Chains A and B, each alone.
Chain A
Amino acid sequence: MKPFIRPLTVVCAAALLAACGGQPPKEAPEVPVEDRAAAEAADEAARVPGEEGAEARALPGQEGVQAYPMDEDPDSPLSKRVIYFDYDKSEVLDEYRPIVQAHANFLAANPRARVTLEGHTDERGSREYNVALGERRGEATRRLMLFMGAGDDQIETVSYGEERPVALGHEESAWEQNRRVEIIYQR
């Protein structure tokens, strides 16, 4: 039983959930973005209707409040939310392991944080095969995060195959941007 509501609950919860409710608390400062309570963060959280009330009432016995890292710190690997893959491959490339590691650490430090790993492919080949390939990419990323310490119940995967490209061209420069897994925190 770990009640963890600070006096500044109203401000904190509205401003930045992670800053108030990281769990366990002693680990919270290690997460690079958690000590940021800038005004724009308040704005961002305020855009989510109803979130203040729901999250401020972290009841005794709960694991703490939901948390997700901020997007604004370009120096943090946590600000990188996309990793890329080789054609028709689902192995996480070495260059993206630090990003996966950072998010796995954050999840381990914030047991109530939840991510969805969205697998995507480029447009080449058949669509259902690409859905399966996108799923493998999401799953490969999920397994790596679990290995790195994230909890099984913190990660969901979904695959859109080639249905949701970020780059609309029909050449490698577009394709390489579309072969990806997006790490999306639930808010």
Chain B
Amino acid sequence: MLMRTPIPLIFLLSAWLWSSTAQALLEIHITQGVEGGIPVAVVPFEWTGSGAAPAEDISRIVSDDLSRSGKFELKDPSDFLETPHHGSEVDFEKWRAIGVENLVVGRIKPNPSGGYLVQFQLFDIFKPGSLSPDQPTYRLKQLAGYNLPTTAQRLRDTAHFISDVIYEKLTGERGAFSTRIAYVTATRGEGGDERYSLQVSDYDGHNEFEVLGSPKPVMSPTWSPDGRQLAYVSFEQGRSAVYVQDLSTTTPRKMADFRGINGAPAWSPDGRQLALTLSRDDPGNTEIYVMEVATGNLRRITYNRAIDTEPAWSPDGRTLVFTSDRSGGPQLYRVPAQGGRAERLTFEGNYNARGTFSPDGKLLAMVHSSGNGFRVGVLDLENRSLRVLTEGPLDEAPTFAPNGSMILYATGHRQRGELAAVSVDGGVRARLRLQQGNVREPAWGPFLNQSKERQ
């Protein structure tokens, strides 16, 4: 069953757009579902030091994170009746009056040992019960409170940490704000020559960092499970080869440079294997292989004269999903990671490619077409229903946030490639705007902090 998601543009949260001139902006377009969001007020944090306030506005970053997730209804600061910066200053009646259920307050001061000290508290303004319907009993309950020493360079990280804490406390799910994305940009120079660049940034596009620049195409970046390495495809030598680069170094390691195609790397969940597309055994015919990263040993998975490519691992590492046109056009298939019989998964539409699993393994996002443009679709692997989440016409390369809440993808917009995000329920969209170049092939990295943060 195909369920087209209705995409009315209910409103644009332009008030939350960043006004800074940072290199990238994640614009927020809430399309639906925000009415059911958790009402939250984030009071602008107070700077108590002498001299200029820090360059980053932490409470603004937190507000943007939360609203972008689509799970919260952010109250407008101009409606606030007071601006407390510590729990002791909060008059809960003034928040109850404007419908706030959760309140974030905080302040920033110079840290005696250098840098800054950020303090924040999250309160639930709740009613534990009422003696009569006319007299509900409200009070404050602190859900989280942190002292966070930080530096000017790490203020954004601190803000994203705060967002993660709030998100987890209020939704019960882990936040994915302290994460990075990788993507490829192509910029046409004045001489008409294309320059390709492999970039890494925070999930919101800030702190962009170029990992690799080349006059030759770069493709298919993918993160190692520990977030320390990227695998990618480069045409540096005039033909495709798969490289792995440790992000703490500048020297890529060549992993696959066989005759023919070397492409579509995908790390196994344990980080020990790379699934690949190679045509080394049969010219012109791509097949799926699995390479042991440590030894380079190869195991061939598919044997079919059709195109087989774009392998993706299930989160338990037991299954590979891949694209094949063995039925005539591209569709997704599933095969045991040790090899075996392939089972076709997609039947709706004439084009389903580049499958990728949600972190819980229950959903498969893909590039889908039923003949009128290419969109991001999500297949529920249990009931096999397909939902189309985006409008097209040239959407591709979906990648899940590590908490499974959002999908980042590449889209054509006004003759340029851009990145956009959509919530898995289709209700929230954001657009990542970079100032120049065509942006494509996003890969959302894993959680950066290894363990769940709990108070």
Report which A residues bind B (CB closer than 8 A): 88, 123-129, 131-133, 135-136, 138-140, 142-143, 157-161, 163-164, 170
Contact = CB atoms under 8 A, between A and B. Distances in A.
Contact of A157 (B219, B277, B284, B394): B284
A132 B220 CA distance: 13
A33 B260 CA distance: 32
Given A129-B307, A135-B279, A123 B394 contact: yes
A142 B396 CA distance: 30
Nearest to A136: B284
26 contacts: A88-B329, A88-B330, A125-B330, A126-B310, A127-B219, A127-B397, A127-B440, A127-B441, A128-B233, A128-B277, A129-B307, A129-B309, A129-B325, A129-B353, A131-B261, A132-B308, A132-B309, A135-B261, A136-B284, A138-B284, A157-B283, A157-B284, A159-B261, A170-B393, A170-B394, A170-B415
A126 B284 contact: no
Contact of A126 (B235, B283, B397): B397
A136 B285 CA distance: 7
Contacts of A143: 284
A164 B354 CA distance: 20
Contacts of A158: 238-240
A131 B369 CA distance: 18
A129 to B, nearest CB: 5
A163 B415 contact: no
A132 B217 contact: no
Contacts of B284: 135-136, 138-140, 142-143, 157
B374 interface: yes
Contacts of A126: 310, 323, 330, 353-354, 367, 396-397
Contacts of B309: 128-129, 131-132
Interface in B234-249: 235, 238-240
A12 to B, nearest CB: 29
Interface in B260-289: 260-261, 263-264, 277, 279, 283-286
B359 interface: no
Contacts of A131: 219, 240, 261, 263-264, 277, 309
A128 B310 CA distance: 6
A128 B235 contact: no
A157 B219 CA distance: 19
Contacts of B441: 127
Contacts of B325: 88, 129
A158 B238 CA distance: 8
B351 interface: yes
A4 to B, nearest CB: 31
Nearest to A127: B219
A129 B283 CA distance: 16
CB-CB nearest 7 A-B residue pairs? A139-B284, A163-B217, A126-B354, A126-B353, A128-B264, A132-B307, A132-B286
Q: How large is the interface on B (under 10, 10 to 19, 20 to 34, 35 or more residues)?
A: 35 or more
Contact of A159 (B220, B240, B329, B374): B240
Contacts of A138: 284
A158 B51 CA distance: 60
A137 to B, nearest CB: 9
A80 to B, nearest CB: 22
Contacts of B233: 128
A45 B235 CA distance: 27
A123 B279 CA distance: 22
A138 B283 CA distance: 10
Contacts of A164: 194, 217
Contacts of B354: 126-129
Contacts of B227: none
Contacts of B323: 126, 128-129
Given A124-B394, A128-B354, A129-B325, 20 more contacts: A125-B351, A125-B367, A126-B354, A126-B367, A126-B397, A127-B396, A128-B323, A131-B264, A135-B279, A136-B284, A136-B285, A138-B284, A139-B283, A140-B284, A157-B260, A157-B283, A158-B238, A160-B217, A160-B235, A170-B412
Nearest to B284: A139
Which one of A135, A140, A164 has the highest number of Cβ atoms from chain B below 10 Å of its Cβ? A135
A135 B374 contact: no
Contacts of A88: 325, 329-330, 351
Contacts of B308: 132
B325 to A, nearest CB: 8
A88 B323 CA distance: 14
Contacts of A159: 240, 261
Contacts of B367: 125-126
Contacts of A163: 217, 219, 235
A59 to B, nearest CB: 27
Given A157-B283, A157-B284, A158-B239, A125 B369 contact: yes
B121 to A, nearest CB: 46
A129 B235 contact: no
Contacts of B283: 139, 142, 157
A127 B238 contact: no
Nearest to B283: A139
